Amino acid sequence: MRSLTIEEKKFRFATPTENSGHKISNGILEAIGQTPIVKFNRYLDSKQVQLSVKLESANPGGSAKDRPAFQMIQQALAQGEITKDSTIVESSSGNMGIGLAQVCRYHGLKLICVVDPNAQKQNVKIIKALGARIEMVTEPLEGDFLAARMARVCQLLETIPGSFWPNQYANCQNPKAHELGTIREIDEALAGEIDYLFVATSSTGTAQGCRDYLRTHGRKTQVVAVDAQGSVLFGGKPGMRKIPGLGAGREPRLARNQNFDHLVRVTDIDCVVGCHRAAQCEAVLIGGSAGGVLESVRSMQYDLSGKSCVAILHDSGTRYLDTVFNEEWVSTSLGASAEEITQRINGPALSTERIPS
List 313's β-bridge partners, or say none. 55
Say whether 168 sits in a helix, a strand or coil. coil
The rounded distance, in Å, linking the Cα atoms of 287 and 275 is 7
CB 251 within 8 A of CB 169: no
The pattern of x and - marking residues 158 through 187 that bind ligand PLP according to CB under 6 A reads: ------------------------------
Which stretches does DSSP call E strand in 11-150?
37-39, 50-55, 87-91, 110-115, 133-136
Rounded Cα distance, 113 and 94, in Å: 10
The verdict on 247 binding ligand PLP (CB under 6 A) reads no
Beta bridge partner(s), residue 262: 224, 356
Q: Does 315 bind ligand PLP (CB under 6 A)?
A: yes
| Residues 261 to 300 in contact with ligand PLP, rule: CB under 6 A | 287, 289
Greatest alpha-carbon span in the chain: 72
Q: Which of 86, 93, 123, 203 binds ligand PLP (CB under 6 A)?
A: 203
Find the binding residues for ligand PLP in span 47-66 (CB under 6 A). Answer: 63, 65
- 202 lines the binding site for ligand PLP (CB under 6 A): yes
Contact indicator for 46, 302 with CB cutoff of 8 Å = yes
Measure the CA–CA gap between 96 and 119, rounded to whole angstroms.
Answer: 13
DSSP state letter for 301: G
Residue 91: CB minimum distance to ligand PLP, A: 12
Q: Which of 120, 171, 204, 301 binds ligand PLP (CB under 6 A)?
A: 204
Binding mask 15-54 for ligand PLP (x = CB under 6 A): ----------------------------------------
Considering only residues 65 through 84, tell me which ones interact with ligand PLP, judged by CB under 6 A. 65
**Minimum gap (Å) between residue 225 Cβ and ligand PLP:** 9
Q: Give the Cα separation of 144 and 258 in Å (integer).
A: 26
- Closest to ligand PLP by CB, 86 or 246: 246
3-state secondary structure of 2: coil
Cβ at position 246, least distance to ligand PLP in Å: 6
Number of residues that bind ligand PLP (CB under 6 A): 19
Residues in touch with ligand PLP (CB under 6 A):
63, 65, 94-96, 200-207, 245-246, 287, 289, 314-315
